[in-house]
Structure 1
């Protein structure tokens, strides 16, 4: 898959590198009757959102790129050796284009999901759990893919998914409450999602935990919200905390252009207590991660403006991460070397940060720089 992306990236780079090449490419588009308002764009290799957009645009001009294979200048570009003595991957063949099509279709779901979670001008907490469920559905569908590279990549992604969502004890239950407060989903959708994600015993356990939390919420807000007795609110609470077996189907709102804040504003008088719960829960953003960071594979950057860590400590942290994520069982090796590294770093800090050292009799105390 990486070779397919690299070959298409280099083909795009060839077209965009010179005005004459771009003109020739436009002529090729006319010759093969390719009409598209999309523009070829170069990507940033460490940002998957830009790679996705690069591939999506390039696929629209697949016929034009194949037509260029009859151009000697185009094929020569991939045969020339660069300064390091290596040749550029490409030109992309049918297999590369096929892999790219599968990959773009798969990546589109994550691209759109990240856009939803990164929103700051609309409510996101009610969408989170259902979108996470869609991710699992997408992963399950791609596991059966006949594309060997895609199946391997999905296996790796499933491990990451299970790391964050496999341990239900670490999951904040508020995300489920937010989904219940969405009249398009309610409790039935959460029940069905649990039964899809987890085994029957764990699913029932999670259902009980969410129901108990919602009951606790309702009892707390009932004691703090000064409102007259409301039969509608009683029914709303009962619809959340009863019928765990799913014998009675809840009536769901069906609206493609649904605005949950508008809905609760219009129905707040009917459900004064539950509407207060919705007001507080839905105000929580599900993600504060920048859109670019969510798709970045470049990692975090430490510099003097962002950290007061010494260079040796930064090096130790980076090495530790590499050892922990390597293929063999590295924790034992890590423990053997961390004491030596820590001693080396501490001694250098003592020498270079004399102002931070205070001698107290037989003991020496070092003011440790603040960490991230």
Structure 2
């Protein structure tokens, strides 16, 4: 890992970014944690494993078992499966499927004499099934967590810290439960603390991604860290996370700052030559007197200019919604946070689990099994490509065993191939849960009577936007319309109110400027053509000219005085600018 960091730095990457290139797979660590707990599982699990192995070892026994299940009216939704030592979730699936057929196993014990004679004391009794049922309920929490963190169609980096916090709460509950569960919990917690018990051994991207989730920010993290590491260690750990995030943000700010300064220098050099030609003061947004004084006082008092990160953290969190898309939120707010959005784009793209990628690379292993080992490379390639083409774009990779497909395969193998159609159900994206500690904090705040903030409260609590000549208030509200749907409609109506009638009066007095004493004989169609041509030639962003064109008046007066000098003079076109005259010559006839 040290060699890789040196190599990345030599390629031009900053040392700050190189610190965070190693991210441990949360699914692998969770696998190790649960496996350490299952080492202490009681004899009930071993008995269930033995009876499942006994039934599956013989096709005749398996067929007899299925016939008995049909006789008892048990729907065969899942197949009996054996666990493997390297996958704890296979133990969960084995126990879950065995519980479905509990009555079938009990019936086998009564009706089949060889069943009890072959297994002896390995046949589970009523208390064993009760123990297994409790264990399945416990393991379901870890199984659901594995499914969530192994997703391939949604961002998972922002949930890493919340999942760790939830896991810590679950393990604490197991330790306090007592009995065999307490022993399992202590073993699992020891493994948990080996990897996530010290923040110095963790990749800080775990915390950065959670902060860059606008639904969390720093709302819950201090409480979560104190709960996991204690108040004595929690405060220094929290400060370290904030310092690391500020350091990373500064690292991202350097290229942006240098590019802005370079462009401003070039703009200043380019405009230096044209300064002498400008003699009048440009009409712009002035620095109002009282506002300028307040700004000057704040600068003298030493108030520091807020960065994008400070502004983002000072804003209120976004409300929790199932339809919330974190990437879309950052895309919409990229103009407000140009540097921070790039940082979020890189951080949120980090996968917290290698399950999806490993599943993609092990596709060929699922195509080539002992029953299809003689397939040629081209046929295997065709099968893999067809699987990818038939999969819908929004269908996640199926990382768990498809028990229905295994059941169909086994049944066809026993029956000699019935050839019935099979339509496997598509996996769905799990709904993000309300994490344990976060839910408690929210509940406490609701009980304490903390009022939900309105759009207006959130808007007024945010930092003001920096003064810029290019600032467009209507564009700002358009960009932020999704954040403030009601307030943006209010702003649209209020800001549309004109505070002066000069522009509208100027528009209605256009005909008066076209029809003067020297052009009073123009026909209505010619007047219409002149007004329309004026409007067509004016640029979209050109304001209405509401002051007199002194140069045009001077030229007109001079031509009027020199009108008898013998040169041709058309009084109807005297005050029409040259571009307008050219446009009128090219206009189609008005019918």
Category of TM-score, reference length = shorter chain? 0.5 to 0.7
Contact 2:216 2:317 in 1 (8 A): no
Contact 1:125 1:282 in 2 (8 A): yes
From the superposition, tell whether residues 222 and 45 of structure 1 become closer, same or farther in structure 2 (CA, over 3 Å).
Answer: closer
Does the residue aligned with 1:42 lie in a helix, a strand or coil? coil
2:110 is aligned with 1:110: no
User: Could you tell me which residue of structure 2 aligns to residue 4 of structure 1?
Assistant: 44
Shift of residue 184 of structure 1?
Answer: 2.3
User: Could you tell me which residue of structure 1 aligns to residue 310 of structure 2?
Assistant: 238
2:195 is aligned with 1:195: no
Normalised by the length of structure 1, the TM-score is 0.65
From the superposition, tell whether residues 75 and 125 of structure 1 become closer, same or farther in structure 2 (CA, over 3 Å).
Answer: same
User: Could you tell me which residue of structure 1 aligns to residue 529 of structure 2?
Assistant: none
Deviation by residue 1:250-293 (Cα, 9 ceiling, x = unmatched):
4233122443223322322232221111012122233447879x
Shift of residue 91 of structure 1?
Answer: 0.8
Q: Determine the C-alpha separation between the residues in 2 that align with 1:74 and 1:236.
A: 70
Q: Determine the C-alpha separation between the residues in 2 that align with 1:62 and 1:291.
A: 34
Q: Determine the C-alpha separation between the residues in 2 that align with 1:69 and 1:144.
A: 37
User: Could you tell me which residue of structure 2 aligns to residue 48 of structure 1?
Assistant: 88
Does the residue aligned with 1:186 lie in a helix, a strand or coil? coil
Deviation by residue 1:280-325 (Cα, 9 ceiling, x = unmatched):
2122233447879xxxxxxxxxxxxxxxxxxxxxxxxxxxxxxxxx
Q: Determine the C-alpha separation between the residues in 1 that align with 2:86 and 2:243.
A: 44
Q: 2:194 aligns with which of 147, 160, 163?
A: 163
From the superposition, tell whether residues 201 and 176 of structure 1 become closer, same or farther in structure 2 (CA, over 3 Å).
Answer: same
Deviation by residue 1:136-184 (Cα, 9 ceiling, x = unmatched):
11111222335x2221111111111112222222222221011111122
Q: Determine the C-alpha separation between the residues in 1 that align with 2:313 and 2:153.
A: 31
Q: Determine the C-alpha separation between the residues in 2 that align with 1:32 and 1:14.
A: 20
2:172 is aligned with 1:140: yes
Shift of residue 134 of structure 1?
Answer: 1.0
Q: Determine the C-alpha separation between the residues in 2 that align with 1:5 and 1:120.
A: 32
User: Could you tell me which residue of structure 2 aligns to residue 301 of structure 1?
Assistant: none
Deviation by residue 1:95-141 (Cα, 9 ceiling, x = unmatched):
22222222222223333333444445543321211111111111112
Q: Determine the C-alpha separation between the residues in 2 that align with 1:144 and 1:27.
A: 44
Q: 2:116 aligns with which of 64, 75, 83?
A: 75
Contact 1:56 1:104 in 2 (8 A): yes
Correspondence 1:175-194 to 2 at 5 A: 175-194=206-225
User: Could you tell me which residue of structure 1 aligns to residue 182 of structure 2?
Assistant: 151
Contact 1:186 1:252 in 2 (8 A): no
Contact 2:157 2:210 in 1 (8 A): yes
Unaligned runs of 5+ in 1: 80-88, 243-248, 293-372
User: Could you tell me which residue of structure 2 aligns to residue 206 of structure 1?
Assistant: 237
Range with greater deviation from structure 2 (58-67 or 20-29)? 20-29
2:22 is aligned with 1:22: no
Does the residue aligned with 1:269 lie in a helix, a strand or coil? coil
Correspondence 1:311-322 to 2 at 5 A: none
Contact 1:52 1:104 in 2 (8 A): yes
Q: Determine the C-alpha separation between the residues in 2 that align with 1:94 and 1:291.
A: 40
Deviation by residue 1:27-64 (Cα, 9 ceiling, x = unmatched):
43345443241111122234222222111111112222
Unaligned runs of 5+ in 2: 1-40, 261-304, 360-591
From the superposition, tell whether residues 288 and 192 of structure 1 become closer, same or farther in structure 2 (CA, over 3 Å).
Answer: same
Normalised by the length of structure 2, the TM-score is 0.42
User: Could you tell me which residue of structure 1 aligns to residue 441 of structure 2?
Assistant: none
User: Could you tell me which residue of structure 1 aligns to residue 128 of structure 2?
Assistant: 96
Correspondence 1:239-254 to 2 at 5 A: 250-254=316-320
Higher Cα Rg, which structure = 2
Shift of residue 73 of structure 1?
Answer: 2.2
User: Could you tell me which residue of structure 2 aligns to residue 37 of structure 1?
Assistant: 77
Deviation by residue 1:210-253 (Cα, 9 ceiling, x = unmatched):
2222223333333323699xxxx9586226666xxxxxx94233
Shift of residue 204 of structure 1?
Answer: 1.5
Q: Determine the C-alpha separation between the residues in 2 that align with 1:219 and 1:78.
A: 67
Q: 1:63 aligns with which of 103, 111, 118?
A: 103
